[in-house]
Structure 1
Amino acid sequence: MINRSASTSYKADKHQFVDLRTILSKYIYHWPLFVLGVIIAFAGAYVYVQNANTSYEVSATILVKDEKKSPQEKAVLPELEQSSSPKNAEAEIEILRSKNLVSKVVNDLQLWTTYQTKQGFKTKDLYGAEPFKLILLQKGVFSGNKMEVLIKDAKSFEVENLNGQKQTVAFNASFKNDAGTWLLKPTSELTQFIGSTIIVTLKEPEMVSNSYLKALDAHLLDKLAPTIGLFITDEVPQRGKDFLNSLITAYNGAASDEQKRTTKATIDFIDSRLASLTGELNTAEKQVEGYRSSQGLTDINSQAKVYLENVQANDSKLNEVNVQLNVIAGIEQYVNSSSNNANAPATIGISDPALNSQIEKLADLQLKRSALLATTPETNPLFEPINKQISLTKNAIRETVSGVKASLLNSKRELQSVNNKTESSIKDIPIQERQFVGMKRQQSIKENLYVYLLQKREELALSYASTFVDARIVDKANVGDKKWPKIPLISAIALLLGIGVPFMIIYFRNSFNNKITSRRDIETNVDIPILAELSYEELDDEVIVVTNKQHLIGEQFRSLRTNLNYLHQTIQSKSTQLQPEEAYIVSQKGITHSYAAEGSGRVTLLTSSVSKEGKSFVSSNLATTLAMSGKKTVILEMDLRKPKITKVFNLPSNHPGLSEYLSDKHQLSVNDIIQQTDVNPDLHVIGCGHIPEDPSELLEKETLTKLIRELRERYDHVVIDTAPLHLVTDAMIIAKQADVCLYIVRQGYSGREELTFLKEVNDADYLPDLNIVFNGIKKDKYGYGYRYDNSYYSAKPRKPSLKGMWKQMLSRF
């Protein structure tokens, strides 16, 4: 069992190897097509490389502040950072790639206008070296609008007008066409382009912005550092550099504008409070002044002074508590407001670090939300985490404010209680003095608050005037490696196409080829043995090749002769029990066939499905091979419609033949129609004679049976060349006289549908002892056939003629 399994595995592997070798042979045969494909592909690649515009990668690097990377980082002067918001690198990348910034850069650099000139088969972009600048006065139709501007001299140019006619226009003079109203402003490069045609292309700025958005690549260069790399590919390196540098400038400008806007809003709030406090402080000062004047107060006795000092100290604390309560009230109003105003309330006098931190965090979140709102729609999912953080921070502030407020109210009650006790202890102090103290107290409160707010305003003014930027440039825009064309990649693509396209051509050509190409095609469709395989020979005409011992096909015909003799011996063994007069056997299907009795000649019939399958060539060479073995052989030219045998043996076609003999009009004997050949004395030919009008009727006559019987007695072998079976029924008529029928199938010529017809013929038993001769095998072309050539039989291989070599070369395409 183990040996059998191993043997089966070996056979399967060997079969797979043969199949692979067969498939590869089919493609290797067409090597000139692959060579031509590779040459054309590389020629096309060379032309493309010579005419393709070169693209370069331009890159820049910036560093942004990222609160996730440095959450504990503090400014040296935190008062100057009142309105700044911590940065998030991922969010900054989205801002850098926002359409607002890109559109601004496109419009600032006027990238929606391109200037080109033709240089041979390619165009050159004149960015940075254009002879003039287009100044748009009134916009028209931009989409795909191209203008060809011919520079005539330093003062004028020629362009098409609205009517499609050429018109000369002066530089700096307005002109109107489909693109709108515009003028051309000359540059210092103008004189270099006099007489040249400049192609000006106008595109919609929005479309150009979209294309730059797609081309712009922005990503973090290092996950541990907030360093952002900006990359873009452009045919003009300077344009790519200008775009990235302008984008960074626009980004810093937008961030600075947003920072100044929020700082200005805070300053305006403080200014409004200072204006209000100025009025209140003036009122308090005037009230003290009036009271002193009206009451005539100048000094207070020492006792009153001590009480007053205690009261003032206590009142000062009470004032601070009241200020803090006012601030707490402002914070409550700010937190409970439904709007997302970025102006944070002042936390003056609040010493609670948790509350100050929470308010600062809330202000930072709202500033960050405002920054995103400037470049991103409010419905964008980016707002969802920020809104949640704002809501949570507000809730935390409410809880903290509640605790602080309760503490302040408790302190206020205690201070008021102390004040009441102190005031009760100074009942003897004049009422005027107590009223004066109250007035001074109010004046002091207003004055302290005014000084505090004035100090904060100066700090914010310094922050507003600062020139700090959010993005620090690590590397300015610089030109990198050539992006396109990449010669190794183009060469690889050319090689792939040069090999792949011919491969696909051959593959689809073979897929749609409905011809028989291998022995397997025959064996899988019909149950008919293949008696021999004959190689293809490039011949100028159908000639006798078996006499040349240096031909491979001669040996193949000798092999066919051996197999045919063995087949005839097998058949004759079936008729050994028959009497000589009983040399006919009726098949199981009721069809009568003749079989040669022992000692009589053997009759072999050759036919095919259609013409040009090599039937006459095989018949003549098979008969010659049989005669060369010393056997008396006669070949009958029974293709009465298109006879070829007499031509192959160079015999006269007007000699009486089968048509005259079978017609019974000429009363000819067998000797009258037999012709001797020059090939071999044992080889005779019975030609067709004149071509009859009713060949099928002639073949149906009993005269044919008598002729075959007589030839059996005279010759060892009778070879019959008949007409194609699928075209006419002559072969079926003659087959009743034959011992063996050979069916010629030509590789690459016979259609697969003929195998269906052949199967029907075999199943019906129209042809006795049917065998197949596989003819015209081209091993190199179809990957199937003998694995040796004429070099085995000849020390000096036959050199084909120049015409033959050229024909063979063309056949490989």
Structure 2
Amino acid sequence: SLNIKDIFFKYIRFLPLYIICVALALLSAYIYLRYSTEFYRSMGQLVIKDDKNSGGLQDDRVAQLMQADRSTNIQTEIEFLQSRPLMERAVDELGLNFNYFSTGKIKELNIYKRSPLRIEASELKDSAQSFTMNLAFLDQNKFKVNGAGPYLVGQDFQLPVGKFRIIRVNEGEIWSEIKIVYNPTSAQAGMLLGGLVVVPKQGTGILTLSMESTNPSLSADVINALMKEYQKVTIEDKNLSTKKSLDFINANLRDREIELDSITQKLVSYRQAHNIIDPAIQANNYFTRIEEAHKSAQVQRLQLNNALQIQDYLRGNSQSTVPSSLGIDDPTLNTLISGYNKAQLERKELLENAQPGHLIVQQKSEEIDLLRNKILENVNNIKSSYNRALGTLQQSGSEAVSQIRTLPTKQQDLLDIQNQLEGKLKIYNQLLSKREEQAITLASTISNTKVMQEAIPDSTPVRPNRRSTQILAFFIGLLIPTIIIAILELMNDKINSRHDIERFTDATILGDVGHSFGEKTLVVTSGNRRVIAEQFRILRSNLQYILTKAPQPVIMVTSSFSGEGKSFVSTNMGAVMALANKKTIVLEFDIRKPKIALGLGMAKHAGLTNFILGKVEVSQLPVKVEGFDNLFILPCGPIPPNPGELLLDTKLDDLFVYLKQNFDVVIMDTAPVGMVGDALTLSKYADCTLYIVRQGHTYKKQIGLVDDYYREGKLPKVSIVLNDVKVQAGYGKYGYGGNYGYGYGSGYFEDEPAHQTGFQKWFGWLGMKNGQVEKTKSKKV
């Protein structure tokens, strides 16, 4: 299996691709960082104080309920801080409807608080419609708007959307192009809310508000304005009930003043008309009794009147709180009114964040209706009680009146008027006292929130993150070529290394044969010390361990299909055997496509087919190879129409008897066993089989065929020769010559002729097989 070192060398040959992809990725990251819009973050902290007093000791269950209620309240405050109405108040407070941008060639910069000018709208035709104005400054005082103009700074100009004026706010230099974007308050608030985040601090009432925008000062100002507006809103909510009470009291005071004026005028008119100055002293005792009865009745009437006012107010104002019980001393009524007011305030808070049809709002409304009905029922009971008391007092007064029937009627009428006046004065004074109390409450209201930390501008952008972007780009630059290479490797179904062969078969790999860059087929010659010649010498040495019991071996050379280098290997194996002083003959038995004689540049001779047909004698078949004392070939002869049947002829037995008597080594170059059965027919004459596998040419699935022949013994002593191996890192752990490999320039071998340019060495993997340009004319396999 491949180890880390193998994987490294497998991918290092693609180093140029990695360098290019990483460089392009880093360049893309630089361009992105250079021209992307930067975002800045500002943060502030707000403390929500609990208005409820904890009181005395609480058990664990009560504490848990209080904690749950506090969490609900905190969540409600978070939703309110993130609500559009509150953000709209902040937008109005800061005047953020107009946004200013400095326009560059590629991107725009938000110049909030840095703009040397400001726009004033004298007239807006549609304040709910957004629009953009592009200002092109001709100089520091003259500009064009959307191509129209020129206009002067401070001069009014008319546009289809309204009438405007540009004024300078400082003496700074004005950019050549400025874009002004108007957004309605609602739209601007919505855009700002997109960058707002409110996070509670666990277990506390502290809220952290953060905002991201394209300008650090804008983020800080919006956060601070939002916290201030939130404080104002909480105070306004608390004062709402008090203001309602004041309005109720003031309305009643105006009514009482009218009644007092009427009774006073009636009293003055009665005295003037009847000349009454002082009551009769002699009826003091009776009058005292009557007066007490009248006073008690007046108190009861006052209470009854207050009850009637509460009843009328509840029936006419179903959505408002009840200011107070108006002095009615009834604990049940006071408790019901307090619960009713609390439910009304809770319903109002729910309506700020939910629709009227929401289930919780409907439940709260039902609770309010139930409390109102209970208050009305209690008021009816109080009225009945007051009416009974008034009946009793009237009865007592009637008894006293019957005792003073002799008193003048005028005196009695005067007393009634005075009693009415006193009753109205008492009510009036009570209302004045209540109004002072409510005014003090209104003036002393404070917010239950406190700004713990104001937001300050932070000029360090949070997006895009330069370091993270560069690291990401670097890894993307590594990932893309890795994915491409992995896909190519997955799609590659050719044999590229010994490792690929070893995955599919246990057959022996006899050795490697490198790529030949020369023009000639015969590369093994006397005195040749090139790498490929030494590889054939290694194959010769390795064959000794296979042919231990064959003094005159017959070596069969075959492959899966044509083009894998059988003839090349056969020719050079014959040459390397001949150089070892062994009389060697190479049989051109691939009678379908013979290449041995053609590769050696030899003329046509009578061959195997002539012998089988009986036209020549066996002694006439061997042809000596020029330049070698011990190397002969046996040509194919004319290509027959029936090669498969021809090889079944019994004359082959005589031929091999002759060859073994006259030659030390016999090498058969047969047809591909994966295509025809010639090699299987001839295998009975062979002592071993050299199965040729060509790098980058033989399919991996064809190694399964080799394994079948090896395991089933259909071919004798199968050994694999990996042919056409390039000196290229990245294919397993073998180079030329097995585990150790060969290296040019080591002094052991002659240098190969130059065959690659510098460009090909670096970019040879781009559409080039195994890093080497395929040139049919210059390669012999």
Normalising TM by the smaller chain, what interval?
0.7 to 0.9
Q: Deviations over 1:314-334 (max 9, x none)?
A: 544443333233323343445
Give the structure 1 partner of residue 69 of structure 2.
Answer: none
* 2:136 paired with 1:150: yes
Give the structure 2 partner of residue 94 of structure 1.
Answer: 79
> 2 CA distance for matches of 1:95 and 1:32?
58
Change (3 A) 1:626 1:608: farther
Structure 1 residue 449: Cα displacement? 1.0
Give the structure 2 partner of residue 61 of structure 1.
Answer: 45
AA at the equivalent of 2:138: K
Give the structure 2 partner of residue 237 of structure 1.
Answer: 216
Q: Which residue of 197, 205, 210 corresponds with 1:217?
A: 197
TM-score, normalization: structure 1? Answer: 0.73
Structure 1 residue 57: Cα displacement? 1.0
Give the structure 1 partner of residue 769 of structure 2.
Answer: none
Q: Which residue of 529, 545, 560 corresponds with 1:608?
A: 560
Contact 1:741 1:768 in 2 (8 A): yes
State the secondary structure of the residue aligned to 1:377.
coil
State the secondary structure of the residue aligned to 1:219.
strand
Change (3 A) 1:89 1:319: farther
* 2:737 paired with 1:789: no
> 2 CA distance for matches of 1:141 and 1:735?
95
Give the structure 2 partner of residue 476 of structure 1.
Answer: 454
Give the structure 2 partner of residue 675 of structure 1.
Answer: 624
Change (3 A) 1:246 1:303: same
* 2:664 paired with 1:716: yes
State the secondary structure of the residue aligned to 1:477.
coil
Contact 2:6 2:730 in 1 (8 A): no
Structure 1 residue 604: Cα displacement? 1.0
> Pairwise mapping of residues 176-195 of structure 1 onto structure 2 (< 5 A)?
176=159, 180=161, 183=164, 185-188=166-169, 192-193=173-174
Change (3 A) 1:523 1:61: closer
Contact 1:58 1:237 in 2 (8 A): yes
Structure 1 residue 99: Cα displacement? 2.0
Q: Which residue of 268, 278, 289 corresponds with 1:289?
A: 268
Select between 116-125 and 477-486 the one with higher mean Cα deviation.
Answer: 116-125
AA at the equivalent of 1:100: P
Structure 1 residue 544: Cα displacement? 3.9
Select between 301-310 and 346-355 the one with higher mean Cα deviation.
Answer: 301-310
Q: Which residue of 562, 587, 602 corresponds with 1:636?
A: 587
Give the structure 1 partner of residue 67 of structure 2.
Answer: none
Structure 1 residue 790: Cα displacement? 3.2
Give the fraction of aligned pairs with identical amino acids, expressed as a percent: 24
Structure 1 residue 602: Cα displacement? 1.5
> 1 CA distance for matches of 2:103 and 2:39?
17
State the secondary structure of the residue aligned to 2:547.
helix
Q: Deviations over 1:651-701 (max 9, x none)?
A: 4444747599679899687567523465x7544445679xx7768759947
State the secondary structure of the residue aligned to 1:515.
coil
Change (3 A) 1:198 1:438: closer
Select between 447-456 and 660-669 the one with higher mean Cα deviation.
Answer: 660-669
Give the structure 1 partner of residue 693 of structure 2.
Answer: 745
Structure 1 residue 223: Cα displacement? 3.8
TM-score, normalization: structure 2? Answer: 0.76
Contact 2:588 2:668 in 1 (8 A): yes
Select between 461-470 and 368-377 the one with higher mean Cα deviation.
Answer: 461-470
Give the structure 1 partner of residue 337 of structure 2.
Answer: 359
Change (3 A) 1:212 1:795: same
> 1 CA distance for matches of 2:363 and 2:537?
90
> Pairwise mapping of residues 397-436 of structure 1 onto structure 2 (< 5 A)?
397=375, 401=379, 432-436=410-414
Structure 1 residue 444: Cα displacement? 1.1
> 2 CA distance for matches of 1:107 and 1:617?
90
Gaps of 5+ in 2: 57-71, 767-781
Contact 1:516 1:752 in 2 (8 A): yes
State the secondary structure of the residue aligned to 1:327.
helix
> 2 CA distance for matches of 1:605 and 1:133?
92
Structure 1 residue 400: Cα displacement? 5.7
Structure 1 residue 719: Cα displacement? 1.8
CA RMSD between the two structures: 5.1
* 2:426 paired with 1:448: yes
> 2 CA distance for matches of 1:288 and 1:641?
147
> 1 CA distance for matches of 2:606 and 2:102?
84
AA at the equivalent of 1:534: G
Q: Deviations over 1:107-165 (max 9, x none)?
A: 6756565443355754332223335545474459978x76654211244434556xxxx
* 2:485 paired with 1:506: yes
Give the structure 2 partner of residue 565 of structure 1.
Answer: 547
Change (3 A) 1:699 1:600: farther
AA at the equivalent of 2:455: A
Give the structure 1 partner of residue 301 of structure 2.
Answer: 322
Q: Which residue of 505, 511, 529 corresponds with 1:534?
A: 511
Q: Deviations over 1:530-555 (max 9, x none)?
A: 23153474653474499759889568
Change (3 A) 1:345 1:729: same
> 1 CA distance for matches of 2:743 and 2:216?
67
Select between 725-734 and 286-295 the one with higher mean Cα deviation.
Answer: 725-734
> 1 CA distance for matches of 2:382 and 2:105?
81
Give the structure 2 partner of residue 7 of structure 1.
Answer: none
> 1 CA distance for matches of 2:24 and 2:706?
45
Q: Deviations over 1:188-240 (max 9, x none)?
A: 4687236x233455668765543322221123345433x43321011211122
Contact 1:148 1:198 in 2 (8 A): yes
AA at the equivalent of 1:604: M
Length, aligned pairs only: 735
> 2 CA distance for matches of 1:131 and 1:693?
96
> 2 CA distance for matches of 1:141 and 1:342?
33
> 2 CA distance for matches of 1:404 and 1:802?
117
> 2 CA distance for matches of 1:710 and 1:763?
32
Give the structure 2 partner of residue 496 of structure 1.
Answer: 475
Structure 1 residue 750: Cα displacement? 2.1
Contact 2:84 2:193 in 1 (8 A): yes
State the secondary structure of the residue aligned to 2:457.
strand
